[in-house]
Chain A
Amino acid sequence: MPSVEKSGADPMIAFDGVEKRFGDNVVLSELSFTVAPGEHVCLIGPSGSGKTTILRLLMTLEKCDAGTITVGGTSLSHMEKNGKLVPADEKHVRDVRKRIGMEFQQFNLFPNMTVRGNLVEAPTRVLGLSKDEADARAKELLDLVGLGDRIDSHPTQLSGGQQQRVAIARALAMRPDVLLLDEVTSALDPELVAGVLKLLSDIGSSTDITFLCVTHEMGFARDFSDRVMMFDGGRVIEDAAPEKLFTAPEHERTQAFLHAVVDR
């Protein structure tokens, strides 16, 4: 198995020499980093710097061109078969992927289903929960996100903030070990942003889920994360605790970026 950590506990997420190209455009090159179990990591940096691509690679929405990605010590792209490392088959990918949930900028709720339908779909189809179990879980999670009374609504009847809350509940219903947040508040009305971020903070502090977030909300990044990675041109140019990175960034590029986004 590639990239076995010497320091003891396996990282929850490990990128090792990952490269991603779209045509001639190199989006990520030689990218290596790890995220420990339960750690909250935020990725910041200018648009187009490859942050979202990292989440999409983890979610298997994209394939990497070189390097390996492991989740909980298991490779996303390869599996062991008769002692040999072979390309992962559909089932292997599904098994690894089941541990990961993702929140999208556009929520991506299924508009043809009710809120309840959105929440019970994957737990019944993928985890094999009974209808009643999935239903109970859905109710519990909707209460958690403050939408217990909207279980029979359709997504189109909800505000953006409410839709994103449902999407969060939908991802949590799969009991993921890892939650990927891709600019989850970028499409929201400004007055709804704080509520969603507060909810995520609450979830972050009350569960041991590992978080990897792409965000432009610097306040959230500062309060929520254990570590912040500054990205530019497909590389991590600074990787530090938020207190350090936001108050005394070492890299010039980080300083310029923070200056531009914080002191607007």
Chain B
Amino acid sequence: MNVWDWNFAGQIIPALLNGLRITLIATVLGSLIAFVLGLVLAILGRGPRPVRIVVRAIVEFIRSTPLLVQVYFLFFVLPAFGVVLPALTVGVLALGVHYATYTSEVYRAGIDAVPRGQWEAATALSLPRTRVWTGVVLPQAIPRVMPALGNYVISMFKETPLLIGIGVLDIVGQVREVGGQSFRYVEAYTLAGLLFLLLSYPASLAVRRLERRRAVR
């Protein structure tokens, strides 16, 4: 038996692409949650002291526990409270919330980098609080943090295989299925690795370009 069987490799590609679809869905939706929730956490983190303390505690707690534990927790504990969600939904939620605690720090740094004079000018013009955020502060803070957010998307993309623990058939999930049925793992895992590389590498190049463009300005 050859180590590498081209024929077999060709046969499993559709299954792997199917897995890739799931991986991409998890990454895109998870990132959306991380982007939005992270921003909310960052803004609340600048609120009144009690709010700040609660936000801080939540962020520290989530960051100090492994993502895998959080995935299992949501999947096995939520049903005990009568909340039964599909595995992929649980996975997206866990990824999104976990990464939100990281993106919130990124946003925080971006917001802190907006000079105080900008807030003061906005106050001097009597701009409403929400408009100060949406019209002045965030449009200056977010472009600055785009590269850092991009890196977290790539990192999330590579962590989606954790979701096989709750039965989500992402790329790696498909590989295990295919491998288990045929006892051929070389082709499946090699192709899976290549798929990840094919997407992550151009993505990180894009992030690097984004960083350079910001640095030049």
Contacts and interface: CB of A to CB of B under 8 A. Distances in A.
Interface residues of B, number: 17
A106 B128 CA distance: 22
Contacts of A174: 125-126
A59 B117 CA distance: 13
Interface in A57-115: 59-61, 94, 97-98, 100-102, 104, 106, 108-113
Pick the most buried of B122, B123, B128, B140: most chain A CB atoms within 10 A of its CB.
Answer: B123
A170 B125 contact: yes
A121 B127 contact: yes
Contact of B121 (A100, A110, A126): A110
A94 B140 CA distance: 24
Interface string B98-133: 000000000000000001011011111111100100
A126 B139 contact: no
A108 B126 contact: no
B120 A110 contact: no
B123 to A, nearest CB: 6
A122 interface: yes
A61 B123 contact: yes
Nearest to A56: B120
Interface residues of A, number: 24
Contacts of A61: 120, 123-124
B152 to A, nearest CB: 23
Contacts of B135: 110, 113, 121, 125
A104 B121 contact: yes
B136 interface: yes
B48 to A, nearest CB: 14
Given A104-B117, A108-B117, A59 B128 contact: no
Given A108-B118, A121-B135, A125-B131, A60 B123 contact: yes
Contact of B139 (A98, A106, A108, A112): A112
B125 A122 contact: yes
Contacts of A104: 117, 120-121, 124
A97 B136 contact: no
9 contacts: A97-B126, A101-B124, A102-B120, A104-B117, A104-B120, A112-B136, A112-B140, A113-B135, A126-B127
Given A59-B120, A60-B123, A126-B126, 5 more contacts: A59-B124, A104-B120, A108-B117, A110-B121, A126-B125
